[in-house]
A = this chain, B = another copy of it.
Amino acid sequence: MKENKYTISDVANHLGVSRSTVSKAINNAPGVSPEVRKKILTFVEEVGYSPNTLARGLSKGRINIIALIVGDARNPFYSDLSFYIQKALNENGYMVMVFNTEYEEKREVEFINLTERFNFAGLILISAQSSDLKNVLKELKVPVVLVNRTFDDFNGDAVFLDNFQGGYMAAMHLMELGHKRIGFVAGHITSSSVKQRLNGYLQVLKNYYLPHSENDIRMGDLKMETGYNIAKDIIKDLKNQPSAFVLANDITALGFMQCCKENDVNIPEMISIVSFDDIVYASLKDIELTTVSQHVQEMGEQAARLMLKKLDDSSSKSEIIVIEPNLIIRNTTGPFKSDRFANSKFR
Contacts and interface: CB of A to CB of B under 8 A. Distances in A.
Interface stretch (A75-83, A142-150, A205-213): A75-83
A113 B280 CA distance: 33
Interface stretch (A19-27, A94-102, A235-243): A94-102
Nearest to A285: B261
A95 B96 CA distance: 17
A43 interface: no
A95 B111 CA distance: 9
Contacts of A342: none
Contacts of A114: 54, 65, 95
A165 B98 CA distance: 34
Interface of A: 53-54, 65, 73-74, 76, 79-80, 82-83, 86, 95-100, 107, 110-111, 113-114, 118, 224, 254, 257-258, 261-262, 280-281, 284-287
25 contacts: A53-B110, A54-B113, A65-B114, A73-B73, A73-B82, A73-B98, A74-B79, A74-B80, A74-B83, A76-B76, A79-B79, A95-B114, A97-B98, A97-B99, A98-B99, A257-B285, A257-B286, A258-B284, A258-B285, A261-B285, A261-B286, A284-B286, A286-B286, A286-B287, A287-B287
Among A74, A76, A258, chain B packs the most CB atoms within 10 A around the CB of A74
Contact of A262 (B73, B107, B281, B285): B285
A65 B113 CA distance: 13
Nearest to A80: B74
B95 A98 contact: no
A281 to B, nearest CB: 5
Nearest to A284: B258
Nearest to A96: B100
Nearest to A118: B118
Contacts of A287: 284, 286-287
A110 B54 contact: yes
A262 B100 CA distance: 36
Contact of A74 (B76, B95, B100, B258): B76
A28 B100 CA distance: 24
A83 B76 contact: no
Contact of A281 (B80, B281, B285): B281
A97 B114 CA distance: 11
Contact of A224 (B107, B224, B257, B280): B280
A107 B258 CA distance: 39
A107 B83 CA distance: 15
Contact of A100 (B86, B110, B113): B86
A97 B95 contact: no
Contacts of A280: 224
B82 A100 contact: yes
Contacts of A286: 257, 261, 284, 286-287
A66 B224 CA distance: 28
Contacts of A76: 74, 76
Contacts of A284: 254, 257-258, 286-287
